Structure 1
Amino acid sequence: MSETATDAHFRETQRFRQPWLWGLLLGVTLLVGGSLYVEGASGPGAAIGLAVVVAVLVLFAVAKLTVEVRDDGVRIRFFPLHLSARRVPLGEIERAEAVEYSPIRDYGGWGIRWTGGGKAYNVSGSEGVRLDRRDANELLIGSQRADELEAAIERARW
């Protein structure tokens, strides 16, 4: 049987939409591209440099964090880095709590972040749900709807 979005107790997809981030990425792209053009740079080095900058721009454009709460657990997929969702079984979750956090101070930025005590998935904002797991590893899931995510996890656990 195939699973559909209606099988989920909760589903949220987030993308990198911060204006400052896009300003920075576009600025770097224009700076690199413009300097290569003005200097008349050519050859493999210039092409590789521009390709790397454009690849980073495309990566941020297509990246998305999808979180679902289902009967079998919490599924997290950070496309294009995850080709399939990572699942946290509900039985591994001791507690779920909606929290406010500082992406830079607490986790060193956005994306998939590893800390001494666990991992964080965040794309934007400063709200999320912290999962305390039975293996003592913490997992933070950034969310624009943290209270709804926490409630859906708690409903699915019981």
Structure 2
Amino acid sequence: MVFKEEQKFTQWWLWLILIGIGILPIIGIYNQLIVGDGFGNDPMSDFIFIVFCLLIFGLIAVFWFMRLKTEIDQNEIRMTFIPFLKKRVNWKDIKNAEIVNYGFVGGWGIRLGTKYGTVYNTKGNKGLAIELLNGKKFLIGTQKETELNKILDKKATWQQTRK
């Protein structure tokens, strides 16, 4: 029993926005550092402008490298939201795990305070909702709903044969 999924932000409209935001510093670099005019009558200092450009390019790089990886085997569920966090949960600590349609939870990424606890997703509206024995909840988004359902069915069968 093994399930693996890797997701990333592939929405065309998101990348259109990010590329649009990334063009501004490029124009600014040309105007301020090469031509020497800057933007407007009172351009910011070169140092502050370079910091601004690095922040914008850093934001774009974070979206480029961001990944949601899910791995499930008979022992545990492993979730990594690169570059932010890693989570490992042993099946014996899980009270309930099911595939749900979580709708729109205010966007994609990491969403706190939903009825599913913390939601980790990159797109879509389907996910593995997990409730732990200690009452904590979280949800991992998926684009492989059918395959994940098969894994949950196998896990239920495996647990019944061990009893």
| TM-score, normalized by the shorter chain, greater than 0.5 | yes
TM-score tier (shorter)? 0.7 to 0.9
Tell me whether 1:113 sits opposite 2:106 in the alignment.
no
Per the alignment, residue 21 of structure 2 pairs with: 28
Partners of 1:154 and 1:86 in 2: CA distance = 22
1:8-157 aligned within 5 A: 9-35=2-28, 37-38=30-31, 39-40=37-38, 43-82=46-85, 85-103=86-104, 106=105, 108-115=106-113, 118-156=117-155
The CA deviation at 1:50 is: 0.6
Percent identical: 30
What 5-or-longer segments of structure 1 have no aligned partner?
1-7
Partners of 2:152 and 2:92 in 1: CA distance = 11
The CA deviation at 1:116 is: 5.8
TM-score (normalised: structure 1): 0.81
Pair member with larger Rg: 2
Query: Deviation per CA, 1:64-121, whole angstroms, max 9, x where unpaired?
Result: 1110002221000111223xx4111111222222111233xx2x32112221652111
Aligned-pair Cα RMSD in Å = 2.0
Report runs of 4+ in structure 1 exceeding 6 Å deviation: none
Paired residue total: 146
Query: Deviation per CA, 1:1-58, whole angstroms, max 9, x where unpaired?
Result: xxxxxxx610000011000110111111113432454452551110010100100101
